[in-house]
Structure 1
Amino acid sequence: MTTLIRQPAREKPRQSFWGLWNISFGYFGIQIAFALQNANVSRIFQSLGSSVDDLAFLWIAGPVTGLIVQPLIGYHSDRTWGFLGRRRPYFLAGAVLAGLALIGLPNTGLLLLAAAFLWLLDASLNVAMEPFRAFAGDMTPDDQRAQAFAFQTCFIGAGAVLGSLAPALFNWLGIPNVAPEGVIPPSVRYSFYLGAAAMVFSVGWTVLRVREYSPDEMAEFDPGSDHDHGAEHEPLIYPRSGPFWTIAGIVMLGLVQALALDKQLYVLGAGLCAFGLIQIGVRATSARGALAHIVSDLAQMPVQMRQLAFAQFFTWIGFFIVWIYTTPVVTAQAFGATDTTSLAYNEGADWVGIMFAFYNGVAAVAAFLLPILARRIGNAATHAVGLLCGAAGFVGILLIRNPDALLLPMVGMGIAWASVLSMPYVILTRVLPPRKFGIYIGIFNFFIVIPQLVVATLMGGVMRSFFPGEPRWTMLVAALMMTAAAAAMILVKENAKVTGE
């Protein structure tokens, strides 16, 4: 009998400062685009005639797109080995498409067309962004992972500062920030052009400056894993819960129809049906394609990933509410304006951009401080502290009416944002199989976009039922969600060998 000898793993080389810089620089442009979207899309929708109550539903493009695109991109990027490497083809394709969407979004005069461009922008940003988390895992050893995510968070913060400030900066240069009804102000349009150029440049920098490891090299770092063929022949698990999810979706659709509930709930019902039917389909056919692998890996998530899912769910409900409603809250509460064509409204909307820039600047600094705290109290406890800072910040937006003083709650929001962008991934990438970084980080995105989908379908009805004409109370809902997320971090039991940094 022949005994197979398992070769010892080759240690993955540590990255230099500039190596970490090049690996992460693409996030700078991606986050400029995200910041422009977060700070200005509600403004664009309102300028094109959307009511405050309908804003949440129009934002539905993001979560739906992420739910579909990210796991598929993760699955295929794990299995892509071409002349551009493993992850870089997706960076480049996403950057080019996002650039086109950024040019188109502020130049349409139709609300539905603007929503379509938002859908394209979100899909493209997801294609470009999803592999970056896995990319950091691919290119760094375990003990340098937190440093790599800190660099990513720093570039995210820096890009978001520029993206959030862009309309106000263009206005300071003399470009008008007001326009007739149904027209997007020139300062906003020019900001989106800047975002398109920055997106292509920064992602192109990473694509051209980083050489990814080959399949043979990855196999040396992770002996026994089939990096070259993506473990296509591994046994799959086909869950039996498909009929349950399908029936739950049908029941929800029936209740919406019978009780004349908010029609936006049709989206949730249809989503449950689709999830159930996918499970039924892959089980009935014993499929082995992308959907089958996603369903199987979802059923086999590491325990830490399951524990983190609860915290992610509440966290992203909180942040998504704040991104949607900060503009109408601040313009009404601190600037006394609801008319989107008025100077006061547009000054308030510009100030929201400055607020968002400030919290992202705080996040860029906090990104390098959180690992220091994590060495003392652990990654999970550090993340809980960060989330509580965010809850305090959201309460501040509710209570404070002075525009300048609104920068104070942005400190708490920035600390929370830095933690959200780094701590869960430090915990996660230490327990995931390296050959599946892409697909599992894509699946992890479920617990980011599902809560966003919940907000997008439910928050409009909640607004009309509980806070008619008073969007500021959404900030209290967001604060409660972040507090629940911090409490959920108690469930996360880090592996003893990987606690802290």
Structure 2
Amino acid sequence: MEKNLAVDKRKATTDKQVKHVDVDTNMPNLPVKTIFAITFGFLGINMAFSLQSSQMSRIFQTIGANPNSLGFFFIFPPLMGMFIQPLIGKYSDRTWNRFGRRMPYLLFAAPISALVLIMLPFSGSMGFGFGSLSAMLYAAFAVCFMDLFSNICMQPFKMIVGDMVNNKQKNFAWSWQQVFSNAGGILATTLPFIFTWFGMSNTANKGTVPDTVIWAYVVSAIILLVTSFWTVFNVKEYDPLHYAEYHNISAEDTKKSVSLLKLLRTVPKAFWTINLVQFFSWFAIMYSWTYTTGTLAKNIWHTSNPASAGYQSAGNWYGILTAILSVAGIVWGLIYAKAKANNRKQWYAFGLIAGAIGLCSMAFITNKWLTVIAFILFGIGYFSICTIPFTLLTSSLNGKNEGAYMGLFNIGICIPQIVASVLSFIIFPLTGDSQPIMMLIAGIALFFGALSVIAIKEGVAVSTVKK
């Protein structure tokens, strides 16, 4: 009796979030405030990832890392994501308790993620010495822990869209998620520039990370915690009965545990064809993260010395460019939110071509202000890479093991980053240690990604797993 009352109470709470049922999918249309709550937490999560992408190269070179060794350190984030994301997806698929299905993982990971986020910028403040092995090991471990818990935080936000948002609202929800993500990127990456403008020191003793960067991480950690908890306490996930009903599956399907290897046999064709595009896309993004600061310093400030004021100014400018990228993504996201579902592939290809032009041009630009145009184009591409693949995939899933599928799908994001990092040890010396040429290679990779969009085949996953 008590169990039935609990279900009825949960049903009443759930019904408050539902406006009406979409007749094609049986999934409810959600009110704007619910979609806001589902997507808002990505603002804080992407502050962590944006600082990682825009400041990690700067931090490692500031504490004494050789530019030819940067690929080694950039291997750690995708390695963490590749292992943790499928596991979070698999186990959260079977987690049903008073806090929900995905939210318990976010509730656990957010405080730890905020704490470890501030480890990296203090790498040069521990007295290890410039270029010492101890400094490199500390920074490497900091990156591993930061990315581990950031990924645990990020996965619930992605999975909840597939759990609760119908196909009609998917473009809208994924666009909003990317809009908040880009807003977080804008705030995080401009903080060093803002702090410098207010008089905080943007330089420090050799081997020490400037205060502007340290405080950017501290502020981002606080916002990550606040926005994550906003989502946790304002999103009421569907109980197992409602979830089964809305996804047109049996209640028993929500309880079955299937191995990740078996799930790979049942993925829709879209899974593999999208991942072909993902390979070229994230290969390019990895090189943009690794070599943009050095490219700006070389082409515009004419320096390769990480301790110089010119190099640190290049690092700040990269933060501004990342913010511009995010603004471009927000504007493009608001436009894409109104796009028709059957035009997603065309939008995807166009975005990748725009991003490719932006990255290729970075290899040759010697005027600071022209880099703004390049990053507006790259912002359109980056939005497309971070949004449209998930829209295409979740539209091809049937509700069973959705979290596990999403986790496995993220391996297709991690592997190309690892491949790019490993190949950098071969490619970078062949370029004559030229960071601008590495940016050109990144742009060419995005062109190949755009050509691969034609291979994408959308389709629904196999409904059962053969034993």
Contact 1:36-1:164 at 8 Å conserved across structures: yes
Counterpart amino acid of residue 264 in structure 2: L
Match of 2:109 in 1: 94
Cα contact 2:77–2:148 (8 A) shared by 1? yes
Q: Hey, what's the Cα distance between the residues in 2 that align with 1:406 and 1:227? A: 54
Deviation at 1:112, TM superposition (A): 1.3
- The answer to whether the aligner puts 1:476 opposite 2:440 as a matched pair is yes
Partner of 2:83: 68
Determine which of 208, 217, 227 is the counterpart of 1:183. 208
What is aligned with 2:331?
365
Cα distance in 2 for residues equivalent to 1:455 and 1:94 = 28
1:336 to 299, 302, 319: 302
Runs of 4+ in 1 over 4 A off after TM superposition: none
Note if contact 1:216-1:228 (Cα within 8 Å) is conserved in structure 2: no
- Unaligned 5+ segments in structure 2 are 1-22, 125-134, 461-467
Aligned in 2, Cα 1:395/1:9: closer, same or farther, shift over 3 Å? closer
User: How far apart in 1 are the matches of 2:298 and 2:250?
Assistant: 56
Q: Does 1:223 align with 2:248?
A: yes
Distance 1:93 1:188 in 2: 27
Provide structure 1 residue ranges, at least 5 long, that are not aligned to the other structure: 1-7, 235-292, 497-501
Match of 2:347 in 1: 382
C-alpha distance in structure 2 between counterparts of 1:17 and 1:443, whole Å? 29
The DSSP-based 3-state class of the residue aligned with 2:433 is: coil
Q: TM-score, normalised by structure 2?
A: 0.89
Task: Name the structure 2 match of 1:39.
Answer: 54
Contact 2:241/2:251 (8 A) holds in 1: no
Residue 269 of structure 2 contacts residue 459 of structure 2 at CA under 8 Å; is this kept in 1?
no
CA contact (8 A) 2:93 2:254 kept: no
Instruction: Report deviation, 1:460.
Output: 2.3
Report the Cα distance in structure 2 between the residues aligned to 1:10 and 1:370, rounded to whole angstroms. 22
Task: Give the AA of the match of 2:64.
Answer: G
Shift in Å, 1:385 = 0.7
Q: CA deviation at 1:9?
A: 9.7
Equivalent in the alignment of 1:241: none
Q: Is the 8 A contact 1:227 1:435 kept in 2?
A: no
* One-letter code aligned to 1:68: F
Distance in 1 (CA, whole Å) between partners of 2:101 and 2:443 is: 39
Identity %: 31
Distance apart, 1:418 and its partner CA: 1.3
Contact 2:188 2:220 in 1 (8 A): yes
Aligned residues: 428
Deviations, residues 69-93 of structure 1 (Å, cap 9, x unaligned): 0000010111111221111112222
Spell out, residue by residue over 1:341-394, the C-alpha distance to the aligned partner (whole angstroms, 9 max, x if none): 21111111100000011001110111121244545x611121011100100000
Q: Give the Å deviation of 1:425.
A: 1.2
C-alpha distance in structure 1 between counterparts of 2:156 and 2:110, whole Å:
12
Matching of residues 227-238 of structure 1 within 5 Å: 229-232=254-257
State whether residues 380 and 494 of structure 1, in contact with CA within 8 Å, keep that contact through their aligned partners in structure 2.
Answer: no
Residue 493 (str. 1) matches residue 457 (str. 2)? yes
Which of 186, 189, 195 does residue 164 from structure 1 map onto?
A: 189
Residue 411 of structure 1: aligned partner: 376
CA displacement at 1:10 relative to structure 2: 8.6
Offset at residue 174 of structure 1 (A):
1.1
How far 1:227 moved relative to its partner?
A: 5.9
CA pair 372-147 structure 1, distance change in 2 beyond 3 A = closer
Distance 2:338 2:244 in 1: 32
Q: Equivalent residues in 2 for 1:277-356 (5 A)?
A: 293-356=259-322
| SS of structure 2 residue aligned to 1:220 | helix
Q: Indicate conservation of the 8 Å contact 1:26/1:203, yes or no.
A: yes
| CA deviation after TM superposition for structure 1 residue 468, in Å | 2.1
Distance 1:374 1:404 in 2: 35
Residue 156 of structure 2 is aligned to residue 131 of structure 1? yes
Aligned to 2:34: 19
| Cα drift, residue 472 of structure 1 | 0.5
Residue 447 of structure 1 is matched in structure 2 by: 412
Amino acid in the other structure paired with 1:230 = K
- Contact 1:138/1:434, CA 8 A, preserved across alignment: yes
1:119 corresponds to 2:140: no
Q: Distance in 2 between matches of 1:476 and 1:374?
A: 33
Aligned partner of 2:169 in structure 1 is 144
Do residues 426 (structure 1) and 391 (structure 2) align?
yes
Task: Say whether residues 1:81 and 2:96 are aligned partners.
Answer: yes
Alpha-carbon distance, 1:469 to partner: 3.0
**Which stretch of structure 1 is more off in the superposition, 65-74 or 361-370?**
361-370
Q: Out of 336, 344, 359, which is 1:394 matched to? A: 359
Shift of 1:408: 0.4
Aligned-partner SS, 2:363:
helix
Superposition pairs of residues 246-261 of structure 1, within 5 angstroms: none
Amino acid at match of 1:93: F
Quote the Cα distance in structure 2 between the aligned partners of 1:452 and 1:321: 9
In structure 1, distance between residues paired with 2:421 and 2:459? 35
> Shift of the alpha carbon at 1:13?
2.3
Q: How much has 1:114 moved relative to structure 2?
A: 0.8
With structure 1 as the length reference, what TM-score do the two structures score? 0.83
Give yes or no for contact 1:91–1:203 (8 Å, CA) kept in 2: yes
| Deviation readout 1:147-184 (Å, 9 max, x if unpaired) | 11011010011000011111111111111110111111
The two structures, once aligned, show a CA RMSD in angstroms of 1.7
Offset from partner CA, 1:409-447 (integer Å, 9 cap, x none): 111111111111221111111111213221111111111
1:24 partner amino acid? T
